A and B are shown apart, each in its own frame.
Chain A
Amino acid sequence: MSGAFVRATALASALGPELGAATGRLLGEPCAPQTLMGWPYRAIPVEDSDWRRRAQTIARSVAAALRRSAGLPAGHWAGLPCLVGSSSFSIGASESEYPAVELPDAFCRTLAQCFGAGGPVIAMNTACTSGLSALQAALDLIEEGAFSDVLVLGAEFSNRLTVAGFAGLELLSPTRARPCDRERDGMVLGEALGAVLVSAAPAEWRVSALAAGVDAASVTGPAPGGEAMAATMRSAMDQARWQPGHVDLIKLQAAGSPLSDLAEARAVRALFTPPPKLASLKGAIGHTLGASGPAELALLLGALARGRVPPTWGYEVYDAEIGLAPSDGAAGEVRRVLFNLSGFGGSVMTLALERAG
């Protein structure tokens, strides 16, 4: 069991550049996505034609919110490590600056500077699980006693290359994301900057475990039976010393993809009878790829702090093959959460969170 806690979170997403207001919007009426290159897209509502200036504006806004929430002494930030998960880094800037291409590490150092984090910076990529991979490295640093606090960022900013790539693979919905819905027809991409300050000092939510696995069935999707996802959820529960009946809520990976949602549903049904409460956040903020770990974690904890299970935007019609019905946003007591992510390259991760005390 981990000895690390979530000390503070902050988020900029399609629901807004500030987490409190974004949580309120999440719990309100769903709204339609914007578009990028003709595809539905969940963009952060910050306007600036200069990609770098916009990214830094967003980063400074998230940083200010995180620093207020964290309450760390100002001098503590000077030595704080910053671990960044992303799949596209600053490729959006390279689209306009080409042939100049900024290396990922350099962009991550810029992000760290926006937060005032002056310690080591590590850029990590495991595609859509990148943010959780960064969180895992942070837990390792805290576990070995090297640091008492570590900043974890999940960063994914608007770019045409990613949209073109997913469009080429025919993975995008032409309308909206409908996770677990019978009519689901693909994902909607989104951008986000999620920030999580992980700490050895006790806080409301303990990171009880973070399990990782590899699904080698295909480099672009899970095995149809969801075996690797089930094994990873099982591993997280084992590490946390939980039984399936202990789990109150599963934050699903589900993005609205016909096959991937079904594979995850099979994994959930294989482990949980009956299933606990379920929620997907990708209908609301889009699939934010490498940012989705910190971004969805911030939003999830924001909703739970208001005593609500996050609603699954886009879910309307029960699918008998899926066999699961995600939350409609009702109030509910949640003490233990499993948090699933999976991505290209077969990376599968499950985070186990527990209310401390």
Chain B
Amino acid sequence: MLLLAPTLVNLAPAELADAVRTRFGSELRRLGAFTQLCQVGAQACIEASGTGGRLGVLLATEHGALTATRAALDDGPRRGEPTMPYTFIATQTNLAGALLARRSHDVARAACLYLEAQDWPWLLRIARSWLAQCERVAVGWVEEAAQGEPHRSHWCIFVREAAAPAIHCAPAGAGTAATTGDWIARVAAWRNAPGGPLELRGSGQGWRFTSHQSSA
């Protein structure tokens, strides 16, 4: 399995609207901050990868659209009033696939996983399975700004084969402890200054990242 275009979008909350306009040429109306953050990061990654074909979208988060959830809990049900669309049943975390499909990506499947920090290797295992039916799988980690951290929308693309230089990924037995929130950033930093293989581990599994030159 090959990894392409590790992409880090980190934004102060006040920068999100501008980032959306820059990326898409207009506002994403009626969508919550979490959904917009997903779209900005995923679209940037897909464009950077230069890939095409059937796409899987696999999104991980620990908190989800917590701001919207809190707002909905604060407002609607307590007063017995209807809740605004997209602020209930975790809808925001579930829109990434359909919204990317509307941008002319051939989205075959999409899912959101709520993962604890050490559980990130599950994303690679699931992405590897999805590659049986998708030509590429966009894997992301998205968290809204909290406790001094900016909005974060980190993405990469997995493919079976690549025409361009890529990063080869394979299960490994050991490595440096990484988290759901930093493994893509670690891979991106390593790609920019490669030395030996990068070995990262989470719960129950490690992964080894090495440079891969295309045979094409």
B207 in the interface (beta carbon within 8 A): no
Chain B neighbourhood of A212, CB < 8 A: 108-109
A295 in the interface (beta carbon within 8 A): no
Q: Is the CB–CB distance between B95 and A120 below 8 Å? A: no
B135 in the interface (beta carbon within 8 A): no
Known: A127-B89, A164-B83, A165-B82. A216 touches B73 (CB 8 A): no
- Residue A124 contacts which of B76, B78, B111 (CB distance < 8 angstroms)? B111
Within 8 A of A (CB), among B84-110: 84-91, 93-95, 97-99, 101-102, 107-110
B6 in the interface (beta carbon within 8 A): no
- Residue B93 contacts which of A95, A125, A168, A346 (CB distance < 8 angstroms)? A125
What is the distance, in angstroms, from A286's C-beta to the closest C-beta of chain B?
Answer: 14
Using CB atoms, name the residue of chain B closest to A134: B111
State which size class the interface on A falls in.
35 or more
Known: A164-B81, A168-B85. A347 touches B97 (CB 8 A): yes
- Residue B101 contacts which of A144, A159, A290, A346 (CB distance < 8 angstroms)? A346
Q: Is the CB–CB distance between B98 and A143 below 8 Å? A: no
Q: Is the CB–CB distance between A103 and B62 below 8 Å? A: yes
B33 in the interface (beta carbon within 8 A): no
Q: Is the CB–CB distance between A344 and B109 below 8 Å? A: no
A76 in the interface (beta carbon within 8 A): no
- The CA-CA distance from A27 to B178 in the complex, in Å, is 52
Q: Is the CB–CB distance between A133 and B111 below 8 Å? A: yes
What is the distance, in angstroms, from B90's C-beta to the closest C-beta of chain A?
Answer: 5
Binds B, one of A86-94, A110-118, A198-206, A297-305: A86-94
Q: Is the CB–CB distance between A219 and B69 below 8 Å? A: no
Q: Is the CB–CB distance between A137 and B112 below 8 Å? A: no
Chain B neighbourhood of A215, CB < 8 A: 98
Known: A98-B73, A345-B98. A165 touches B88 (CB 8 A): yes
B25 in the interface (beta carbon within 8 A): no
What is the distance, in angstroms, from A272's C-beta to the closest C-beta of chain B?
Answer: 23
A213 in the interface (beta carbon within 8 A): yes
Q: Is the CB–CB distance between A125 and B114 below 8 Å? A: yes
Known: A99-B70, A214-B97. A120 touches B122 (CB 8 A): yes
A123 in the interface (beta carbon within 8 A): yes
B203 in the interface (beta carbon within 8 A): yes
- Residue B129 contacts which of A140, A168, A345 (CB distance < 8 angstroms)? A140
A160 in the interface (beta carbon within 8 A): yes
Chain A neighbourhood of B28, CB < 8 A: none
Q: Is the CB–CB distance between A101 and B66 below 8 Å? A: yes
- The CA-CA distance from A346 to B98 in the complex, in Å, is 6
Q: Is the CB–CB distance between B108 and A122 below 8 Å? A: no
Chain B neighbourhood of A120, CB < 8 A: 119, 122, 203-204
Q: How many A-B residue pairs have CB under 8 A?
A: 157
Chain A neighbourhood of B107, CB < 8 A: 214, 216
What is the distance, in angstroms, from A245's C-beta to the closest C-beta of chain B?
Answer: 25
- The CA-CA distance from A103 to B64 in the complex, in Å, is 8
Q: Is the CB–CB distance between A122 and B119 below 8 Å? A: yes
A61 in the interface (beta carbon within 8 A): no
State which size class the interface on B falls in.
35 or more
A169 in the interface (beta carbon within 8 A): yes
What is the distance, in angstroms, from A222's C-beta to the closest C-beta of chain B?
Answer: 11
- The CA-CA distance from A144 to B80 in the complex, in Å, is 48
The majority secondary structure among interface residues of chain B is mixed
Q: Is the CB–CB distance between B83 and A88 below 8 Å? A: no
What is the distance, in angstroms, from B206's C-beta to the closest C-beta of chain A?
Answer: 15
- Residue B125 contacts which of A88, A91, A104, A144 (CB distance < 8 angstroms)? A144
B72 in the interface (beta carbon within 8 A): yes
Chain A neighbourhood of B204, CB < 8 A: 120
What is the distance, in angstroms, from A114's C-beta to the closest C-beta of chain B?
Answer: 18
Chain B neighbourhood of A101, CB < 8 A: 66, 69-70, 73
- The CA-CA distance from A143 to B85 in the complex, in Å, is 38
B174 in the interface (beta carbon within 8 A): no
Chain A neighbourhood of B115, CB < 8 A: 105, 122-123
Chain B neighbourhood of A124, CB < 8 A: 111-114
Q: Is the CB–CB distance between B72 and A89 below 8 Å? A: no
- The CA-CA distance from A344 to B95 in the complex, in Å, is 8
B74 in the interface (beta carbon within 8 A): yes
- Residue B98 contacts which of A103, A137, A216 (CB distance < 8 angstroms)? A216
- The CA-CA distance from A161 to B78 in the complex, in Å, is 9
Chain A neighbourhood of B90, CB < 8 A: 87-89, 104, 125, 127
Q: Is the CB–CB distance between A125 and B76 below 8 Å? A: no
Name 28 interchain pairs, CB-CB below 8 A, sorted by A: A89-B90, A95-B73, A95-B78, A98-B70, A99-B70, A101-B66, A101-B70, A103-B64, A104-B114, A108-B114, A120-B203, A122-B113, A123-B114, A126-B94, A126-B112, A127-B94, A137-B126, A161-B77, A161-B88, A161-B89, A164-B88, A165-B82, A165-B88, A167-B82, A214-B107, A219-B99, A344-B94, A347-B94
Chain B residues with CB under 8 Å of chain A are 62-64, 66, 69-70, 72-74, 76-78, 80-91, 93-95, 97-99, 101-102, 107-116, 119, 122, 125-126, 128-129, 203-204
Supply 16 further A-B pairs (C-beta < 8 A) apart from A91-B69, A98-B70, A120-B203.
A37-B77, A87-B89, A87-B90, A98-B73, A98-B74, A101-B69, A105-B114, A124-B111, A125-B111, A140-B125, A144-B128, A161-B77, A161-B89, A165-B76, A290-B89, A344-B91
